[in-house]
Structure 1
Amino acid sequence: MEITWYGDTCLRLKGREGVVAADAYRSVVGPTGRGLTADIITYSHPDDTPPPVRPKGDRLNGHAAGFLRPTSLDPAFILDGPGEYEVHEVLINGVRTFRDDDKGRQRGLNTCFVYELDGLHVAHLGDIGHILDEDGLGEIGSADIVCVPIGSALTAAKAAEVATQVDARLIVPMLVGDGEAARGALDRFMHEMSVSHPTPVPRLSVTISTVPAETTVVILESRSRV
């Protein structure tokens, strides 16, 4: 499986069963999709800009779309809420969470998605803003890879705690925003994880046999300007 980061919480996951784009918002990939392609798109939370996908008949959960011209993401199944799904042989579990630690009263709802691709379980936490409770952690279940937002609602300490809660051996930070503030948030997260900065890589290529025995943080280069 290959994981590519497009900026903020937008990732592309490519496996034998299909290709998933997580949080492919217009604010990240522009009005034409910026060449990003996928069989399935998941949206963890409402965004201030609509996704770059025209309305289609083969959509799930009815996420609002507002583009009339073709994009690189047409056509794709869209998931934007909790539930258990199987699309293009990809198993996906959506778990209701929140974008703050006040049950969503301040910043709204969030959906954590767990994808099963190439026999690996990847937990994409979207824009989660709180420590997982026992129920949420149980619904997410066991994961090999966890993708956690850095620089949004979670402090560095809480982001590290959430990443540790999921108990995945590969941790992929998703840096929300850019500039000094974002880099500072990543530095603090790495300090909380007690690891040094690894060299950023263009993509994460991993199989069941290459998942490390010890917890490892992987920093991905952003394709947000590609």
Structure 2
Amino acid sequence: MLRSVSAVFALLSSLISSAAAQDVPRSSECLAMANAPPRAAPVSLRTVAAKTDEVAITYAGHSTYYIDTPGGVRIATDYNGAYRTGRLPDVVTMNRAHSTHYTLFPDSHIPIVLHGWGDDGQPARISLRVGDVFIRNVTTDIRRYFGDDSNAEMIKDGNSIFIFEAAGLCIGHLGHLHHKLDESHFAAIGRLDIVMVPIDGAYTMSLDGISDITRRLRASVVLPMHRFMTPLDEFMRRIGQQFEIDVRTERTLKISRDSLPGAPTVIILDGV
């Protein structure tokens, strides 16, 4: 079902106001909480989080997850138009490593389309609020060819790690990640409660490489994607015993700050 004219207008108005304020420093709760002293500043944030509703995260296919916020904003990650579920998204994010991660011709009824690469020769710089979600990105490089050949030509800032902040949760999508992250990347990402990681072991990164990043991020919930034929037990073996595994029979995870697992957990949704 298409969004009503008023709903689309409201979302576009939000985008316009956000774009107009691009030069104004944005406030990220995820960065603030990552940099705050333990058990100090987050007190008020925990109070806010306790009053929020759940976020619904649905696996659609390949690297596309749908994120539905309590305020009714629907986001689709690495959107190419092929993986759909429910109503049309309000916001789509894309990465251009391969055509399975983007489309230059998205449905015209999608109000907000965010490219993970720069369209003007500059890195993509995304920092905007749409309804009850704050969206930002951290750029990484991509290879021009498949495989883990470190000598392959790289496209600087061709991929984006997208971070969505809603309902007190910090949700990250690593996109089509091709290389290890350095300290500047981790600092720019901040704290993540939920992270979506590609586990194909070849077209993006080796399993050892993505496992190292997953351990370093230490999100409460890890949602695998871009799997192909990778044995799940092999991924679990490499990331270590500190991660629990939770295999679900449904495609949708409903979660809030209060319901995050106590130990880091890999949640395998149906279809992954």
* Fold shared per TM-score above 0.5: yes
Query: Residue type matched to 2:64 in 1?
Result: C
Shift of 1:98: 2.3
Provide Cα deviations, 1:96-148, integer angstroms capped at 9, x if missing partner: 01235759834772100000111101010011112211111111111100110
Secondary structure of the 1:92 match is: strand
Correspondence for 2:67 among 2, 6, 13: 13
Distance in 1 (alpha carbons) for counterparts of 2:208 and 2:159: 20
User: 1:136 is aligned with what amino acid?
Assistant: H
Letter in 2 for 1:15: T
Q: CA deviation at 1:44?
A: 2.6
Count of residue pairs brought into register by the alignment: 198
Q: Choose from 194, 199, 205 the match for 2:240.
A: 194
Judged with a 3 Å threshold, the aligned counterparts in structure 2 of structure 1 residues 34 and 146 are, in CA distance, closer, same or farther, namely closer
2:153 aligned counterpart, secondary structure: coil
Match of 1:154 in 2: 205
Where does 1:1-226 land on structure 2 (aligned, <5 Å)? 1-17=55-71, 18-26=73-81, 28-29=82-83, 33=84, 35=86, 37-48=88-99, 64-65=104-105, 71=107, 74-81=109-116, 82-83=124-125, 84-100=127-143, 105-106=153-154, 109-151=158-200, 152-177=203-228, 182-184=229-231, 186-194=232-240, 198-202=246-250, 203-222=252-271
User: For the structure 1 residues 51 and 135, does the alpha-carbon distance in structure 2 shift closer, same or farther, using more than 3 Å as the test?
Assistant: closer
Q: In structure 1, give the amino acid aligned to 2:177.
A: I
TM-score (norm 1): 0.77
Cα distance in structure 2, aligned partners of 1:93 and 1:103: 30
Q: Is the 8 A contact 2:69 2:132 kept in 1?
A: no
CA-atom RMSD, angstroms?
2.6
Amino acid at match of 1:140: I
Kindly provide the amino acid, as one letter, of the partner of residue 178 in structure 2.
G
Cα gap change, 1:92 to 1:86, in 2 (>3 Å): same
1:122–1:50 CA distance, 2 compared to 1 (3 A): closer
Alpha-carbon shift at residue 8 of structure 1 (Å): 1.2
**Aligned pair in 2 of structure 1 residues 201, 44: CA closer, same or farther (>3 Å)?**
farther
TM-score by length of 2: 0.65
| Distance in 1 (alpha carbons) for counterparts of 2:216 and 2:151 | 19
Quick one: distance in 2 between partners of 1:222 and 1:22? Answer: 16
Change (3 A) 1:201 1:93: farther
- The one-letter amino acid paired with 1:200 is R
Which segment is superposed worse, 76-85 or 4-13? 76-85
Q: CA deviation at 1:191?
A: 1.1
The higher radius of gyration belongs to: 2
Gaps of at least 5 residues in structure 1 are: 53-63
In structure 2, how many angstroms separate the alpha carbons of the residues matched to 1:6 and 1:104? 31
| 1:61 corresponding residue in structure 2 | none
Measured against aligned partners, the alpha-carbon deviations of 1:26-85 in whole angstroms (never above 9, x if no partner) come to 4x42xxx46552111011335326956xxxxxxxxxxx32x6xxx5x8223011133212
> Which protein is richer in helix relative to its size?
2
Separation in structure 2 between the aligned mates of residue 76 and residue 150 of structure 1, nearest angstrom: 31
**Do the aligned partners of 1:150 and 1:156 also contact (CA within 8 Å) in 2?**
yes
